């Protein structure tokens, strides 16, 4: 890796701004960097947010803390796994021990047509196991949410006039998703169920924390999208490190990195991560009926981060200044998305306003 240039030495604008020995391959927020310095930039941003899990904070001889990393096979979660894998190897080389160990979990979602289909994660998971063999891997299906009796009753209640008793879990999931006619609310329901399954998995496996692959851009998208869907009240629990919404706290190691930077990082590391990643398919922009709020926010911030990255960062920083209240100050939590119900919620409501709209049911 190129050495960092000496302080006070003249800067050659044709070379990497940091090492001044290699040609730049990417410009990061007006700073031209070579591939090595750029990889270090992204890695350092992520590792700094893992301060709580450094080796020096682990008791000597204690069992390594178990952290859950949800893997969607997308660019961000794949890059986070790559970064943490190399970070753990570095810890072991320097100190002879590691600050934590990873359990990688994939939740298999229905196809775009709403049907569950055959499970297809095995082959891709094998590719990840081969590339990052030192971690534990698990995969579950979104329909497993119906194994929870309370959640099953809540979801089937939304399917009016239909009997789901004779259907298996995958059949019930297909029926519930088909009953949600809005593309926005269907995508919202899938996201909520995926998160609930991940949190439940972390609790059952006594994980100390969940490491989400959300970047600055993704968190900005969520901030505006969740506000539009009626959950603005709960933003402090959705985008803040160690917020106590669940028994297992959440962390966002890529919170200080833009999505476009993570994408470039995945292409520049050796070997590249491109073959592991499932790329998002382009969506038609003419059919507004199937366009979701989340997709609109994604389109918006993808364009903004190209020329105005500070705007994206400011959205997340501003939201981060909202302090989440202690959960014991709330009498109830939404039975679907698990966020606290504020004082404006109906007295006997089982759901927050956003989930009432999503399921189109009353409390």
Quick one: three-class SS letters along 225-294?
A: HHHHCCCHHHHHHHCCCCCCCCCCCEECCCCCCCHHHHHHHHHHCCCCCCCCCCCCCCCCCCCHHHCCHH
Chain-centroid distance of CA 22 in Å reads 34
Give the confidence band of 117 by pLDDT, cuts at 50, 70, 90. Answer: very low
Average pLDDT, the chain: 85
Q: How many C-beta atoms surround the C-beta of residue 297 within 10 A?
A: 21
Distance CA 117, CA 9 (A): 61
Distance CA 325, CA 323 (A): 6
* The pLDDT value given to residue 263: 95
> Is the pLDDT score of 118 beyond 50?
no
Distance CA 272, CA 357 (A): 42
Contact 248, 228 (CB under 8 A): no
Per-residue model confidence as pLDDT tens digits over 98-111: 889 999 999 998 86
**What whole-number percentage of the chain has pLDDT above 90?**
49
Which tokens is 219 given? 């968190």
CATH topology for 63-332? Rossmann fold (3.40.50)
* The pLDDT value given to residue 22: 94
Per-residue model confidence as pLDDT tens digits over 62-101: 667 899 999 999 999 999 999 999 999 998 888 888 889 9
| Domain range summary for the chain, segments of one domain joined by + | 63-332
> Is the pLDDT score of 227 beyond 50?
yes
Classified as helix, coil or strand, 312 is helix
37-66 per-residue burial string, b: 16 or more CB within 10 A, e: under 16: bbbbbbbebbbebbeebebeebeeeeebbb
Which tokens is 240 given? 């803040």
* The pLDDT value given to residue 328: 67
Start-to-end CA distance of the chain, whole Å, equals 59
């Amino acid at each position: 890796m190129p050495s960092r240039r000496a302080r006070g030495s003249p800067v050659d604008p044709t070379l990497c701004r940091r090492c001044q020995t290699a040609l730049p391959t990417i410009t990061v927020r007006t700073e031209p960097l070579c591939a090595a310095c750029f990889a270090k930039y992204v890695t350092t941003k992520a590792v700094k947010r893992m301060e709580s899990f450094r080796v020096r904070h682990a008791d000597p001889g204690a069992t390594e803390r178990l952290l859950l990393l949800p893997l969607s096979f997308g660019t961000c979660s794949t890059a986070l796994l790559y970064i943490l894998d190399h970070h753990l190897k570095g810890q072991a080389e320097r100190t002879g021990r590691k600050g934590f160990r990873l359990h990688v979990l994939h939740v298999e979602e229905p196809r775009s047509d709403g049907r569950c289909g055959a499970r297809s994660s095995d082959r891709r998971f094998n590719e990840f196991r081969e590339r990052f063999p030192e971690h534990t891997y698990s995969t579950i299906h979104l329909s497993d949410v119906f194994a929870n009796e309370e959640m099953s009753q809540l979801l089937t209640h939304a399917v009016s006039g239909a009997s789901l008793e004779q259907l298996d879990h995958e059949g019930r999931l297909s029926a519930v998703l088909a009953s949600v006619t809005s593309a926005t609310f269907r995508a919202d329901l899938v996201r909520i169920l995926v998160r609930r399954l991940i949190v439940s998995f972390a609790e059952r496996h006594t994980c100390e924390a969940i490491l989400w692959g959300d970047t600055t851009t993704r968190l900005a998208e969520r901030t505006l999208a969740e506000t539009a869907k009626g959950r603005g009240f709960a933003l402090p629990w959705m985008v803040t490190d160690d917020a106590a919404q669940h028994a297992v706290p959440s962390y966002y190691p890529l919170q200080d990195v833009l999505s476009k930077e993570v994408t470039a990082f995945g292409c520049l590391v050796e070997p590249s991560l491109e073959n592991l990643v499932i790329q998002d398919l382009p969506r038609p922009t003419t059919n507004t009926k199937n366009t979701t709020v989340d997709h609109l926010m994604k389109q918006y911030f993808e364009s903004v981060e190209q020329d105005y990255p500070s705007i994206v960062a400011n959205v997340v920083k501003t939201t981060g200044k909202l302090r989440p209240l202690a959960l014991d100050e709330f009498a109830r939590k939404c039975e679907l998305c698990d966020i606290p119900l504020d004082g404006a919620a109906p007295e006997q409501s089982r759901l927050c306003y956003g989930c009432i709209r999503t399921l189109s049911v009353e409390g």
